[in-house]
Amino acid sequence: MKGLRLLVILTLLGAPAIVGLLFTYEIIKVDWISMMEDQPSFRPMEDPLPIPAESVPFMADYVQYVPPVNPVPADEVSLERGKVLYDIHCAVCHGPQGKGDGYMAQFDMQPADLTASALDDAGMFLFVTNGTPNMPPMRESLTVRDRWDVINYVRHVLQGQK
């Protein structure tokens, strides 16, 4: 019984003290965290450190060199493979003709109109590989060759380029 009485007394005396401490920072206006990176600056304080020569890059397969031109020729085999892969992985959002009018267009996110794309092949490869905020990355679903076949299909069939 004495233990319960002591607990009640400590709670009654301690609760106002704890509440008072919580509001102290609001009254005095002391920042909870005051660190250098939270302050406004006009230029970086120092340059980033160079990467050591013997280091192992983190996520090296994610940051890959993308060739400036499409290495896969847009022949009949590539275009046929690209159509099959496009129908499986892309048409649900971008639509069968690539105009962004697929099933997902009825929702808030609007898929891109691939027929009006101003991206070069390397830029399109990066978008297909890494995704966008509204598009999942396809690097797990499609091989590098598959991605280039889809790009060939979009370029030569949907966009009508020769």
Say whether pLDDT at 48 is over 90: no
What's the pLDDT band for 32 if we cut at 50, 70, 90?
Answer: low
Region 57-64: mean pLDDT is 58
60 domain-assigned? no
In this structure, are 139 and 86 located in the same domain?
A: yes
DSSP 20-43: HHHHHHHHHT--S---GGGS--SS
Q: What is the DSSP letter of 161?
A: -
Q: What is the pLDDT of residues 93-112, one digit of tens each?
A: 999 998 888 888 888 888 88
Q: Round to whole Å and give the CA distance between 46 and 34.
A: 20
In this structure, are 80 and 20 located in the same domain?
A: no
43 domain-assigned? no
Give me the pLDDT at residue 30, please: 55
Query: What's 149's domain CATH number?
Result: 1.10.760.10
44 domain-assigned? no
Give me the pLDDT at residue 153, please: 94
142 domain-assigned? yes
In this structure, are 24 and 84 located in the same domain?
A: no
In this structure, are 25 and 88 located in the same domain?
A: no
C-alpha of 8 from chain center: 52
pTM for this entry: 0.59
Closest by Cα among 110, 131, 127, 118 to 161? 118
Structural domains in the chain (count): 2
Give me the pLDDT at residue 95, please: 92
Closest by Cα among 144, 115, 110, 116 to 129? 144
Residue 22 structural domain: 2-34
